[in-house]
Amino acid sequence: MIYVLGSINADLVLYSDRFPESGETLVGNDFLLNQGGKGANQAIAAKKAGGETVFIGRTGDDYFGEFVLRNLTENGVKLHVKKEKGTFTGIAMINVNSKGENKIVIIHGANGFVNGEELSFLKERLTEKDILMLQGEIDAKILKSAAKTAREKNAVVIFDPAPVNGALKGVIPYANFITPNEVEIMSLTDGAGTEKLLEMGAENIIEKRGSKGVNYIGKNERFEMPAFEVNAIDTTGAGDTFNGAFAAALSEGKTIKESVLFASAAAAISVTRKGAAASFPKREEIDEFLRKVTVK
């Protein structure tokens, strides 16, 4: 089983030719309301890629909460979610330009209330056969405790340290896999780079480099995986697609290199579509893509 402890948001996605300048009002081209949040996104990505998945988190008692939970359920994700009374569901305001680039502002809302109740749920259920996925959108102390619990149970921990803050450094020694992008690596290491992450206790580093592919650094193996050549229109959620698909592949017993290839294909498909969770490919799409497409 793949357990995902993390955030769930309603994504308000605005599409425009370019990003507005400071103080400028810009007329956009399109709008989408999607389920988002790195935790929920990765849960759906893992499920659609073939993994059995449970999402653990909190929503508010508002319209957005009902919307996002319905989306998770419709995608086949099992839920352990508490509705926080008197609180709004997490919100992400996402602006996407004509190049598929994005700028995002997040309001945590109910995600900020995840606490020991969720940790107790994990402690009761995690086994050595399971995977725990974590991201940086809930309290770092909760993430560290969850990662420690998973390691005590001999479960595999996949940690996506985004959005970066200094407190997330404490989670790194308890993660089997850490999956930052280039900017996040520099922030976590104060500019020192990937080798510093190994010194900080990272066991396996999967550096996501967008169109430049993936750089894997482990204690006993290193490799680069080139990107697939696709026409990107929206990169929102591409990293979450990668993580979810990677977890799904790993849960099936694929090797690290096979799992990275599978995850890279899933992410490549996702950037050719609008939105986050709505863009995540199904298992059969990923398999078909890998049969037809070559890397750069």
**104, 93 Cβ separation under 8 angstroms:** yes
Q: Measured between alpha carbons, how far apart are the two ends of the chain, in Å?
A: 33
Token pair of 101 as six digits: 């680039």
Specify the residue for token string 């402690």. Answer: 123
Is position 240 annotated as part of the catalytic site?
A: yes
92 DSSP β-pair partners: 11, 106
For residues 257 and 6, give the distance between their C-alpha atoms in angstroms, rounded to a whole number: 26
What string of DSSP letters covers 209-246?
A: -GGG-EEEEESS-EEEEPPB----S--TTHHHHHHHHH
Find the catalytic residue in 62, 234, 240, 287. Answer: 240
**215, 203 Cβ separation under 8 angstroms:** no
- Give the sheet arrangement for strand 78-84, strand by strand: 78-84, 53-60, 2-5, 131-135, 156-160, 177-178, 204-208, 214-218, 222-225
Which residues are catalytic, by number?
240
